[in-house]
Amino acid sequence: MSVVVVFSSRRTPHSEAEYQQVAERMEALVREQPGFISVNSVRDPQTRRGITVGVFEDAAAVHAWREQAEHAHARAQGRASFYEEYQVTVATIDREYSWKAD
């Protein structure tokens, strides 16, 4: 059963260039992780609120991502410089479906 990690946050109004660099690196790094399925992010530039949703094969893959050394460093950097606040929610996906217009 897949596991979803929802990271909702509010950015600080500074360090945008440095933040972009770290965010791009984290996205590239997570895509290399065993058990990674997908990631999507959006941010409202007016409120600086954003959400990133990552999907992993299982809880072990989520744990491995959390323990990844470069990711751990980025989390600490985020608390020190990039975020005013954030919340992480981890949940098991019980059901999933999609629809697409022709």
Q: Where in the chain are the domains?
A: 3-92
The pLDDT value recorded for residue 15 is 87
CA atoms within 13 A on the CB side of 65: 27
The pLDDT value recorded for residue 55 is 98
Domain 3-92, CATH class in plain words: alpha beta
Q: Which amino acid is at 22?
A: V
**Residues 6+ away with beta carbon under 8 Å from 58:** 1, 2, 3, 35
Sheet holding 36-43, edge to edge: 36-43, 49-56, 3-11, 83-92
Pairing label, strands 36-43, 83-92: unpaired
User: pTM for this one?
Assistant: 0.90
| Residue-level pLDDT, tens digit, the chain, 102 residues | 899 999 999 999 888 899 999 999 999 999 999 999 999 999 999 999 999 999 999 999 999 999 999 999 999 999 999 999 999 999 999 998 999 999
